[in-house]
Amino acid sequence: EAQVTQNPRYLITVTGKKLTVTCSQNMNHEYMSWYRQDPGLGLRQIYYSMNVEVTDKGDVPEGYKVSRKEKRNFPLILESPSPNQTSLYFCASSQLAGGHTQYFGPGTRLTVL
């Protein structure tokens, strides 16, 4: 089954404790992206990747890191999480960037205390 998976689905952590949210897709998509969703703010793009080893900042990259060493995986790293990073995070992938259907993962709800 074609899908985007994220782990963990739920995470409660404390300020400053490094964490990684994994994202994997099995559709051989070149483009992957991370978003955060907050009430009343819609989805805001954090980082995106056009292909392996090619990443770029979205609209809200501060406090986040990403890597794209393999085509299928695009982990989101929070080196020192802060409470303002409490949010619902979505990973998405598409065949290519620009107008192609983005397939979203189920989301990761992160709470930073």
Partner 1 sequence: TQLLEQSPQFLSIQEGENLTVYCNSSSVFSSLQWYRQEPGEGPVLLVTVVTGGEVKKLKRLTFQFGDARKDSSLHITAAQPGDTGLYLCAGDGNTNAGKSTFGDGTTLTVKP
- Cα(97)–Cα(12) distance, rounded to whole angstroms? 32
Supply 42's token pair: 């819609």
| Binding stretches for partner 1 (CB under 8 A) | 4, 31, 33, 35, 40-45, 48, 50, 56, 58-59, 90, 92, 96-102, 104-107
Beta carbon nearer to partner 1, 44 or 71: 44
**CB of 92: closest distance to partner 1 in angstroms?**
7
Beta carbon nearer to partner 1, 17 or 64: 64
**CB of 80: closest distance to partner 1 in angstroms?**
25
**CB of 14: closest distance to partner 1 in angstroms?**
25
Distance linking the first and last C-alpha atoms of the chain:
36
Beta carbon nearer to partner 1, 14 or 54: 54
**CB of 109: closest distance to partner 1 in angstroms?**
9
| Nearby residues of 59 by Cβ (< 8 Å), 6 or more positions away | 44, 45, 46
Beta carbon nearer to partner 1, 15 or 51: 51
Supply 69's token pair: 């060493």
| Nearby residues of 41 by Cβ (< 8 Å), 6 or more positions away | none
- Cα(45)–Cα(2) distance, rounded to whole angstroms? 23
